[in-house]
Amino acid sequence: MDRAEADLSKTGSAAAVIDGSNADVVINATAYTAVDKAESEEGLAHQVNAIAPGEMAAACQAAGKHFLHISTDYVFAGTGSKPWAETDTPEPKSAYGRTKLAGEKAVLDACPEAIILRTAWVFSAHGANFVKTMLRLGATRDEVGVVADQFGGPTAARDIAEALLEIATRKFAGASEQGIYHFSGAPTVSWANFAEAIFKLAPGTKVNRITSAEFPAPVERPKNSALDCSRIAADFGLVQPDWRSGLKDLMAELEAVT
């Protein structure tokens, strides 16, 4: 549904849609994701990322519906080199991270049996994301500077969707699992590594490896976005997808529509 049907900036909007539906499972794939802009619009980001998901979770709890919610690696400090586990203490460093963490708490407070899926570095043939940005820049430049000291697991949106559908099916069938799970692609790479993989499939652009300090932004990005995904593998049999396969599928999808 689009914003006209469920405007998350308006209190009660999404919950009203849930109340009026015959859905068995609700997946919240919405969020305020403009990381830099959230610093000056934290109130709106909090409404979309925290208040609205809490209202959705409460509506699901009251109606006996299962609720699945997507969150982010930005709830962590982004330090160190060890992949973040669900048991690690959140320490968000940005308004975006704070509002997403508040959303996790609101969801679980309202609906303790909900599933929260934290993910990172999402890419898709649709919407704005790193892959499409690289392809756009590569169409007009021979070289592009890409940060080489931030690491994470690129994750195809299609893989996230398939994981959510598998979890939803299991929950509908009576699975008792609940709480927070991590799910992201493998292997862990830097943004520069990821860009190099993109330009191997769309040759013609050289990647210049730069530091975070050479690419300043209003919000400091996490240096370590790697997620430990062992819990979701143990509980749901969902192993980390190889992002390189997802990238090839995305490139084929984009080529098919051009």
Catalytically active residues, by annotation: 96
Measuring CA to CA, how many Å separate 86 from each of 59, 95, 227? 26, 21, 9
Element (H, E) at 71: strand 66-72
For 230, other C-beta atoms within 10 Å of its C-beta total 14
**Coil, strand or helix: which one is 90?**
coil
Tokens representing 145 are 């500077």
Tokens representing 41 are 């619009």
Identify the sign of the CA torsion 90, 154, 32, 111: negative
Longest dimension (CA), the chain: 56
Measuring CA to CA, how many Å separate 13 from each of 4, 25, 56? 10, 18, 9
Tokens representing 24 are 């068995």
